[in-house]
Amino acid sequence: MSGRDALSSANSAEDAGSGSGSSGTPYSSSPPPSTEKKKGKTRVSRTSLILWHTHQNDASAVRKLLQEDPDLVNARDYDNRTPMHVASLHGWIDVAKCLLEYGADVNAQDRWKNTPLADAEGAMKHNMIELLRSHGGLSFGQNGSHFEPKPVLPPLPNKCDWEIEPSELDFSTTSVIGKGSFGEILKAFWRGTPVAVKRILPSLSDDRLVIQDFRHEVNLLVKLRHPNIVQFLGAVTDRRPLMLITEYLRGGDLHQFLKEKGSLSPSTAINFALDIARGMAYLHNEPNVIIHRDLKPRNVLLVNSNADHLKVGDFGLSKLIKVQNSNDVYKMTGETGSYRYMAPEVFKHRRYDKKVDVFSFAMILYEMLEGDPPLANYEPYEAAKYVAEGHRPLFRTKGYIAELRELTEQCWDADMNQRPSFLEILKRLEKIKDNMSQDHHWHIFTQ
Burial class, 125, CB count within 10 angstroms (exposed 0-12 / middle 13-18 / buried 19+) = buried
- Total count of residues recorded for the chain: 447
Contacts of 258 (CB under 8 A, 6+ apart): 264, 297, 367, 368, 371
Residue 439 annotated to the active site? no
198 is in an annotated binding site: yes
Distance CA 287, CA 70 (A): 41
Taking Cα atoms as reference points, which of 63, 67, 85 lies closest to residue 13? Answer: 85
Catalytic option among 110, 294, 314, 357? 294
Distance CA 187, CA 311 (A): 17
Taking Cα atoms as reference points, which of 348, 318, 351, 313 lies closest to residue 332? Answer: 351
Q: How many Cβ atoms from other residues are within 10 Å of residue 8's Cβ?
A: 14
CA atoms within a 13 Å half-sphere pointing along the CA-CB vector of 102? 23
Q: Tell me how many degrees the CA angle 1-295-243 measures, rounded to the nearest 5.
A: 25
Catalytic residues: 294
Which residues fall in the annotated binding site for ATP? 198
Binding-site entries: 198
